Structure 1
Amino acid sequence: MFAIRLVTTPQPGTCVLAADASGVLAGGDDETAELHRTAEDPGRAGAAQVMPRPLRTPAKVVIAGVGAGDEAGWRAAGCAAIRSVPAGEALHVVLPEGVAPEAVRGLAEGIWFAAYRFRDAVDSPRSVEVTLQTSTPDAYAGSLATARVTAAATWLARDLTNMPSSVKNPAWFAGQIVGEAATRPGLTVTVREPEQLRAEGFGGLLAVGGGSATPPRLVELSWQPEGATRHVVLVGKGITFDTGGLSIKNRDGMKLMKKDMGGAAAVVAATLAAADLGLPVRVTALVPLAENAVSGSAYRPGDVITQWDGSTTETTNSDAEGRLVLADALGYAVARLSPDVVLDLATLTGANSVALGKRTAALYSHDDDLAAALESAGRAAGERMWRLPLPDDYVEYLHSDIADRHSSPTRGAGSVVAALFLREFLGDKVGSWAHLDMSAPSWAEKHEDDLTQGATGWGVRTLLRYLTA
């Protein structure tokens, strides 16, 4: 990831000046002021006016709109600025006097988020020199460092999710987590392989992964700083590819299923970042990894599965596999890890996008304070979510005649019922649990705002804001 440096003097490259929604342009000369004055909608957050200046210094000026001048506005300006220059061209941002530290964090995050490219793609990551000019660099060093950790974690989650499933099987993913944890003091990691999963009764994970030539894994990644008084367990769905199993998807439904481990990528990256930031909270990431494949050993519609907690699930749709692996992990977390809070993130249902569109996750929780804290973290981070209900009268949809519950009722409210299914495994921690169905916002169809085409790394930013609060 390229560097962003704080400097006190002008530097070579495209010069970026900020304009707010009231029309005030910070810095510049008569020429730039005239350009800004005559522009349509000047100062709108994310708007960019580019002025070439041949044979002059600087040779190009970008006026980037910051809107209300809050962190979100500056993040949008950072995205617009980096997209206004070709890859490799230096960028020099003149910060207005007295700009808030959180604005500089937003600016830096926007630059890094919008500059991301998948490392193995033809369009490789941008290599660019970025400088931020201010007379008081010490005032912004902390904000820039936090932005860098957040961006690096988001890049990692995007890289993991973008990786083709021909490479990204459960063993490979587990190896990546072990390798990343080894570079950071204070982290511990345990990988349960198939023999141990069978011995300990992780029936849902074994069933879902049973049809694949690459067996499942359960990774437990832990950050436990000295003196921590709060324990947050993060559970992320880690289906490295989802064919739908014997309830096979069609081609259009299957072609992007390398992203079905986006929740796992987010919780892993956030836990690694918690260690990088030295956050004073204990964090455990549980990552059930499996490939849902089609073969003679694949689990069947109509099978009854015994979950980790000993309860049974009738599954009549093998494409509702994510909730089965999450159920094992949630039951284990509550019984063995003594969490104060349990959060799960999952690309769980297509119903998420039907209800809320492509940029918004569904939030479920019985805890009003926890839900409000996550919503606040999401707003600050620039990741949208919307709270949906958990109506008790919908629990009857989970009824099974031959097991404790049914995994995939055919009636409506698919995202809600999936959340109610997960709730079954929380025991006395139901009141300290939140579920984020982030299937839709986990993927972007094009470069837009702070997203680049492909995996978004959704959830990393929100989790870090929540853990830091």
Structure 2
Amino acid sequence: MLAIRLVSGSTRPDTLVLPVRPVGLDAPPELAPTAYRPGDGLRAEAASLLPAARLTGAPGEVREHLRPDGEPARLWLLGVGDGDESAWRSAGAALARAAAGETQITIAISDGVAALRGLVEGLLLGSYRFRLTETGPRPALARVDVLVADPEALAGTLAEARTTAEMTRLARDLTNTPSSTKHPEWFADQVAAAASGRTDLHLRVRGPRELAAEGFGGILAVGGGSARGPRLVELDWRPAGARTHVVLVGKGITFDTGGISIKPVPAMKLMRKDMAGAAAVVAATLGAAALRLPVRVTTLAPLAENMVSGSAFRPGDVIRHYGGLTSESTNSDAEGRLVLADAMAYAVRELTPDLLVDLATLTGANAVALGKRHAALYSENDDLAAGLLAGIGAAGERAWRMPLADDYLEYLASDIADLHSSPARGAGSVVAALFLREFTGELRDRWAHLDMSAPSWSDDVHGELVKGATGWGVRGLLRWLATLG
């Protein structure tokens, strides 16, 4: 992974990147102030290039200028917008892509924490690649030196930004991995490997026998059609003195055929991403431990492969969930809520958390309502919703609060079970959230649900996103968890 280090202004770079910011509608952009003070000649030269380079200063604009007889030999101009964290994140990602063929570059920034954090996350996330073959071009950029006035003062910010990006990259790796490799046991093994060597992380993995013995009927039903049995991963970060306990639950369907209610091929081809919620909550918990956040975090990742076979659960089956509630399912492609229900009921009954948050690639209705880059957030707790939205927004992710409309509760009525898990009527994302709410018990007013199917995957390059898994939720959860200590 790309190495990033902080250096003082005494360095003499061969390739120097200077930030550019807009001034106004009718004024040309200008060099942004930085801790690095280029000589008057270089500053004047850079300023003179701005009109010819047709720069506006917008985040992510990059221009290169060769100086064969000068020092530095190459000067790059980088748009950083208004210089906030989001703008620097976009600029860092654009720079990582533009400099992919370089070996080393040096960039001057202001001494602000926000600028450094945004730049580092942008560089590390924008340079992310997932490939299973050694053929094809590989980025050559190995190191970025960041010019600041006081490297020691910003070392902590660099470490935090790096950890956040590393955990996001881990979630991307887990989500991008093809399902021929990725199955419930494999996922559990990856969590065990990531947590190994840490005595402050506690891991328990339940297999099919333990799930049956303890009554996790939803996980067993969804995973029953696969030769690769389901798992429930429980990962616990328990720092000394923690006053708040958060349980994170993430949907972990390692591949979703739709079961007997089989999906059409176009809808099935990207179903390796149907465990992005589990990847996000696991990575966030590992990140909380790495950052030593003073809040207890327990992650539950119910893992199953929803396959078609003689042992698959059927439309019309009644499933008994952990704790005893039953649900009737007439659509085996509405499987995510079944595994989440088990995990959430277990969390409420056995873990007694202060707050419960679930992340799930749950419905396509989320994308219809909010497009590809927003998650839908459901909660009856205004403070919890506001805190999550603030953390998500600060991290550069997006979510929008949606209503938990009790008018739609009648859709969940079943003639033969406590609940109907997959009614055919509309309001798909809202109804799915209402179904999950039935399993929150006494935590109903301290629960939030994030339907993040759409933003879990990007079809193109955008800011710090690359094509493929986005790792959505890791950064937002870490920002939010950091406020709970």
TM-score using structure 1 length: 0.97
Q: Distance in 1 between matches of 2:435 and 2:55?
A: 48
Q: Which runs of 5 or more residues in structure 2 are unaligned?
A: 24-28, 33-37
Q: Deviations over 1:310-356 (max 9, x none)?
A: 01100000000000000000000011101011010000001111111
How far did residue 439 of structure 1 move? 0.3
Contact 2:412–2:421 at 8 Å: present in 1 too? yes
Q: Deviations over 1:144-186 (max 9, x none)?
A: 0100100110110000001110110100000111111113330
Could you say which residue in structure 1 is the equivalent of 2:15? 14
Q: Deviations over 1:262-315 (max 9, x none)?
A: 000000001001110111100000000000000000000000000112011000
Letter paired with 1:450? E
Letter paired with 1:20? R
Contact 2:59–2:90 at 8 Å: present in 1 too? yes
Letter paired with 1:382? G
Change (3 A) 1:126 1:459: farther
Q: Distance in 1 between matches of 2:138 and 2:306?
A: 30
**Aligned Cα RMSD in Å?**
1.5
Matched, 1:166 2:172: no
Q: Distance in 2 between matches of 1:232 and 1:394?
A: 28
How far did residue 35 of structure 1 move? 1.9
Could you say which residue in structure 1 is the equivalent of 2:225? 211
Letter paired with 1:115? S
| SS of structure 1 residue aligned to 2:31 | coil
Contact 1:233–1:284 at 8 Å: present in 2 too? yes
How far did residue 451 of structure 1 move? 0.6
Please point out which of 400, 403, 416 is paired with 1:402: 416
Greater mean deviation of Cα atoms: 434-443 or 71-80: 71-80
Matched, 1:149 2:163: yes
Q: Which runs of 5 or more residues in structure 1 are unaligned?
A: none
| SS of structure 1 residue aligned to 2:297 | strand
How far did residue 53 of structure 1 move? 3.1
Contact 1:187–1:275 at 8 Å: present in 2 too? yes
Matched, 1:134 2:148: yes
How far did residue 41 of structure 1 move? 5.1
Could you say which residue in structure 1 is the equivalent of 2:113? 101
Matched, 1:62 2:76: yes
How far did residue 100 of structure 1 move? 1.2
Q: Distance in 1 between matches of 2:87 and 2:364?
A: 31
Letter paired with 1:319? D
Matched, 1:417 2:431: yes
Letter paired with 1:102? A
Q: Distance in 1 between matches of 2:403 and 2:186?
A: 37
Could you say which residue in structure 2 is the equivalent of 1:301? 315
Greater mean deviation of Cα atoms: 116-125 or 29-38: 116-125
Could you say which residue in structure 1 is the equivalent of 2:236? 222
Contact 2:99–2:141 at 8 Å: present in 1 too? no
Q: Distance in 1 between matches of 2:100 and 2:238?
A: 43
| SS of structure 2 residue aligned to 1:464 | helix
Q: Distance in 1 between matches of 2:426 and 2:76?
A: 49
What is the 5 A alignment of 1:135-284? 135-284=149-298
Change (3 A) 1:124 1:180: farther
Contact 2:100–2:139 at 8 Å: present in 1 too? no
Could you say which residue in structure 2 is the equivalent of 1:120? 132
Contact 1:13–1:89 at 8 Å: present in 2 too? no
Contact 1:10–1:92 at 8 Å: present in 2 too? no
Total equivalences in the alignment: 467
| SS of structure 2 residue aligned to 1:344 | strand
Could you say which residue in structure 2 is the equivalent of 1:348? 362
Could you say which residue in structure 1 is the equivalent of 2:404? 390
| SS of structure 2 residue aligned to 1:78 | helix
How far did residue 125 of structure 1 move? 6.6
Matched, 1:326 2:340: yes
| SS of structure 2 residue aligned to 1:18 | strand
How far did residue 2 of structure 1 move? 2.4
Letter paired with 1:117? R
Letter paired with 1:25? L
Could you say which residue in structure 2 is the equivalent of 1:310? 324
Q: Deviations over 1:186-208 (max 9, x none)?
A: 00000001000000000000000
What is the 5 A alignment of 1:332-371? 332-371=346-385
How far did residue 54 of structure 1 move? 3.6
Q: Distance in 1 between matches of 2:57 and 2:133?
A: 34
Greater mean deviation of Cα atoms: 40-49 or 60-69: 40-49
Contact 1:397–1:409 at 8 Å: present in 2 too? yes
Letter paired with 1:21? P
| SS of structure 1 residue aligned to 2:465 | coil
Q: Distance in 1 between matches of 2:421 and 2:271?
A: 20
How far did residue 89 of structure 1 move? 2.3
Contact 1:192–1:218 at 8 Å: present in 2 too? yes
How far did residue 124 of structure 1 move? 5.2
Q: Distance in 1 between matches of 2:138 and 2:173?
A: 12
Matched, 1:2 2:2: yes
Q: Distance in 2 between matches of 1:29 and 1:125?
A: 30
Q: Percent identity?
A: 60
Q: Distance in 2 between matches of 1:13 and 1:184?
A: 41
Q: Distance in 2 between matches of 1:240 and 1:339?
A: 27
Letter paired with 2:257? T
Please identify runs of 4+ aligned residues in structure 1 that moved more than 6 A.
none
Contact 1:399–1:405 at 8 Å: present in 2 too? yes
